[in-house]
Amino acid sequence: MRGLERAPRTPQRSAVAGEPGARLYPYDGDDAALRLEAGRCGQPLSRFGYDRSGTKTYRFSRLGYRSEELDPSAARRVFVCGASVAFGSGLDAHESWPARFREEYARLHAVDARAVNVLNFSSPLAPPDYVVRTLLLQASRIRPDVMIAEFSMFRRIEVVREGRFVPVDVPLGVRVHATRRTWRATAPRVTRVSAHDHFLAFLRGALLLQSFAEARGIACLLLWDRRPHEPYGALFAEPAFAPLLALLDRRSFCDFSVFDRDVFVDRSADGIHPGPMSSGIIANRVAEKYRGRVIVSAIPVGSEPGGRHGAQDGCPQRSESLQGPREPQLGALHHAASA
């Protein structure tokens, strides 16, 4: 494939041959026992979470994720973590957008899709805290080439109870206590949780992942599942957030929502979440954003002042993205990059 420079293979320094999932952390959510047992026995489930249709199959890895096992011999590795949409609620695994993204990612890097190891750590109702925590911990154990975080459930946070992480709802409007500005006043004042609080937590998590990925030479993409009725999109124009937003690499931020009307075009078997066609659109747009990150390696070496351009260790150099069509068909990105 012309134009895209091949990055080195994923280092295998943390993998142990013959032990799928070696040294990765197992799933630790509320339904961990069910998922771990299903993975250990190799027993697929026909009903899971909100999907009671009995028409889809849910297979779990030995670590309790709806994912393939770790492949130490893979040429490329992609980590994905999100909530129900990335998990593929109401879909077979091959219909989910992470599985569809694999095909386009393989084309862009001229490798067989079977040589791309996609590890999906997503879980229904997962709060942003879970997404950030999971990707940081897993990537600190085994380095991926690409890390994709899908933020959802902004009203949820993680707390620690009895030695384990527990998701807790903090909905808009809930009453909370806030300390006064002066240390002399000890009495708390009552306020209410607002969209600004949720958005600030999202920004902190996104920036933490971005910094972690940059420090380790990992390509990183960020998505969000903002619902149409939620006010978070308007907060990008909030002056108070401007200094933090200036730190966010917007070329890595997929500025659409999986619930946009031109994305959410069908429903899955659970009747709630995006269906197979919607997943294809999501995968398409994520691949387009990823292509904008890596296409800079097509620039000839030394063609611009400042030295070498291109990807190193799977992480593209900072450069302006090339803009593709708004909604190319799957496979079109490969032809554009090869032109």
Q: pLDDT band at residue 316, thresholds of 50, 70 and 90?
A: very low
pLDDT at 197: 94
Do residues 222 and 254 make contact, with C-beta atoms less than 8 angstroms apart? yes
Length of the chain: 339
pLDDT at 108: 92
4 vs 83, residue with greater confidence: 83
**What does the pLDDT average to over 131-148?**
96
Q: Residue 267 in 3-state DSSP?
A: strand
Beta-sheet pairing, 146-151 with 175-178: unpaired
Do residues 47 and 55 make contact, with C-beta atoms less than 8 angstroms apart? no
Element at 77 (helix H, strand E): strand 76-81
Q: How many CB atoms within 10 Å of residue 6?
A: 14
* Predicted confidence (pLDDT) per residue in 58-79, tens digit: 999 999 999 999 999 999 999 9
pLDDT at 317: 37
Beta-sheet pairing, 116-120 with 219-224: unpaired
**What does the pLDDT average to over 116-131?**
96
* Predicted confidence (pLDDT) per residue in 150-164, tens digit: 999 889 999 999 999
Please enumerate in sequence order all residues whose Cβ is within 8 A of that of 217, keeping only pairs 6 or more positions apart, or say none. 312, 313, 314, 315
Fold of the domain built from segment(s) 32-338: Rossmann fold (3.40.50)
For every residue of 150-190, DSSP letters joined together read EE--TTEEEEEETTEEEEEE--TT-EEEE--SSTT--S-EE
Domain boundaries, the chain: 32-338
pLDDT at 229: 83
pLDDT at 214: 95
HEC per residue, 202-249: HHHHHHHHHHHHHHCCCEEEEEECCCCCCCHHHHHHCHHHHHHHCCCC
